[in-house]
Amino acid sequence: MRIGELAAEAGTTTRALRYYESRGLLPARRDGNGHRTYDERDLAQVRQIRTLQDFGFGLEETRPFVECLRAGHAEGDSCPASLLVYRRKLEELDSMIERLGAVREKVALQLARAERARDELAAGAPAPGGPEPVCELGGRG
């Protein structure tokens, strides 16, 4: 198949395919007329790259999976190098989750403080017809 067909089958662009080729992730085979040619193995490799990128893997992190497919394995994640990338990505995700949890706690604490301050202000609000409280951020109410 030609580059446009591969792009359509893989759900990507010809530009992305040329970039994968320049990075050594896709073979650069040419026919007698100089047109790029691809087969089903190339389609599997591009689909593997796209799936991993959809999961948040960087392009370079896809390399062991592509190499695993090129080595003849039916799945790109059946090689030790691919498994190592999975382990590293899980560690990275666990770290992000931990950091996000800490940020979430801080935001929840700030929200609780802000709501308490608002409630205290409302409890001490002036009688109807009195001056309206001024928000510390410069607005009214």
> Looking at the domain assignment, is residue 84 inside a domain?
yes
Q: What is the mean pLDDT of the chain?
A: 90
pLDDT of amino acid 137: 64
> Looking at the domain assignment, is residue 136 inside a domain?
no
pTM (predicted TM-score)? 0.74
pLDDT of amino acid 136: 63
> Looking at the domain assignment, is residue 18 inside a domain?
yes
Question: CA torsion, points 22, 27, 32, 36, in degrees to nearest 10?
Answer: -60
CATH code for the domain in which residue 74 is found: 1.10.1660.10
- How far apart (Å, rounded) are the C-alpha atoms in residues 113 and 95? 27
pLDDT of amino acid 124: 78
> Looking at the domain assignment, is residue 128 inside a domain?
no
> Looking at the domain assignment, is residue 135 inside a domain?
no
> Looking at the domain assignment, is residue 138 inside a domain?
no
> Looking at the domain assignment, is residue 41 inside a domain?
yes
- Total domains, the chain: 1
Range of the domain at 101: 3-123
Model confidence over 114-137: pLDDT tens digits?
999 898 888 876 555 555 556 666
Model confidence over 54-75: pLDDT tens digits?
999 999 999 999 999 999 999 9
